[in-house]
Amino acid sequence: MAASEQDIAINQWLEGKLPDEEFLAIVGSETYQKYRQIVAEVDSWTPSNEDYIPDLKAIKEASGKKEAKEVAMWQRTRMLVAATVTLLLVAVMVLWNFDDRVEVSAGMGKVEKITLPDGASTLYLSAGSSASWNEVDWTPDKRELELDGKGYFEVAKGGTFLVNGANASIMVLGTKFEFQEYFGIAEIVCFEGKVQAISKLDTTILVGGEARLLEEEGWASIEMPEQGQPTWIQGLSTFKNAPLIKVIRTLEQEYDIQINYDGVNIKRQFTGSFPNDDLKLALKIVFTPLQISYSQEGKKLVLSE
């Protein structure tokens, strides 16, 4: 049932225009009982003011004001109660909607494979990343989720599939693609099918074998990985002419470390691969060719050059 139909039923019931039996049939027993409880609690409210209880009759006689003023005051009181009830109902509906929200995350150095609510699409969630969606809103015609970090999607054909990031969104019908955001930079790689990359700057279409990076001017073409799917799924991080800041971000997520890169030129590019289960080897592979020194203390790493 659409939300608009439920809203109409709620309003009609509150106004006494819809019998209890019809309201129950439309919204279901759980919703019906919760609204009954809210209204019952509002009906039991009694105004309290121990310091002062106004004598409306005395005030009217002393001021010479007519009965209409008194009626107007009670109308305002009723409007205040009605407004309070409305706010309570909105709050309850927000809480119900929140209860239907599902959140999943991948710990540092881990990859999580998740079957999405349609039962046919799969999300591989990269280390330190998270995703969330509302199961009530997930329908055969509309599939939507929020992604924070990096994920690889294998989307079954069906209705619209939408992935929302902080700075960009990806819309697909059925495909295999990788989407990630790091330090405000969005990147999309389409391995198969077709996707639409959306941002405030512009919108672009990608087909299998194409990749885009969101820059200040909009979506720019970048080199496509040689592999048929992200290598991090198998525990290997691979880069081709990637900004050093992207490599640093990946190291932080895969090894749960903090890297201080002050004074280091992070605009340089890196090409190569490092394992996600051997920090000593990974650091040597990344920073030695770039002539960047590093020192480690616990989970903190300091770069210098």
CATH of the domain at 287: 3.55.50.30
Full pLDDT tens readout for the chain, 305 residues: 345 577 777 777 777 778 876 766 776 766 666 566 566 544 544 444 444 344 444 444 544 544 444 444 445 545 554 555 555 554 444 444 445 789 999 998 899 999 999 999 999 999 999 999 998 888 988 999 999 999 999 999 989 999 999 999 999 988 999 999 987 789 999 999 999 999 998 999 999 999 999 988 899 998 888 778 899 998 999 998 888 999 999 999 999 999 999 989 888 999 999 999 999 999 999 999 999 999 999 999 999 98
Can you give the pLDDT at residue 38? 60
Could you tell me if residue 227 is inside a domain?
no
pTM > 0.85:
no
Same domain, 213 and 273: no
Could you tell me if residue 228 is inside a domain?
no
Same domain, 171 and 271: no
Can you give the pLDDT at residue 92? 45
Helices 20-27, 3-14: crossing angle, 10 deg rounding: 160
Tally of domains in the chain = 3
Angle at 260 (CA atoms; ends 257, 262), nearest 5 degrees: 165
Same domain, 187 and 270: no
Could you tell me if residue 230 is inside a domain?
no
Same domain, 74 and 93: yes
Nearest to 286 by CA among 262, 251, 236, 235: 251
The residue among 178, 195, 222 that closes a domain is 222
Q: Quick check: 121 and 143 in contact, CB under 8 A? A: yes
Q: How far apart are CA 213 and CA 197, in angstroms?
A: 10
Q: How far apart are CA 21 and CA 85, in angstroms?
A: 22
Could you tell me if residue 147 is inside a domain?
yes
CATH of the domain at 110: 2.60.120.1440
Same domain, 177 and 153: yes
Same domain, 148 and 247: no
Residue type, 24: L
Same domain, 183 and 117: yes
Same domain, 300 and 252: yes
The two three-digit tokens of residue 165, written as one number: 């990031």
Could you tell me if residue 159 is inside a domain?
yes
Can you give the pLDDT at residue 54? 42
Nearest to 247 by CA among 220, 281, 274: 274
Same domain, 107 and 77: no
Distance of CA 5 to the CA centre of its chain: 26
The residue among 61, 79, 99 that closes a domain is 99
Q: Quick check: 236 and 285 in contact, CB under 8 A? A: no
- Domain limits at 86? 3-99
The residue among 99, 131, 158 that closes a domain is 99
Same domain, 106 and 211: yes
Could you tell me if residue 218 is inside a domain?
yes
Can you give the pLDDT at residue 206? 95
Same domain, 114 and 202: yes
Could you tell me if residue 292 is inside a domain?
yes
Could you tell me if residue 165 is inside a domain?
yes
Same domain, 218 and 120: yes
Can you give the pLDDT at residue 144? 95
Cβ-proximal residues to 183 (8 Å cutoff; 6+ apart), any chain: 245, 249
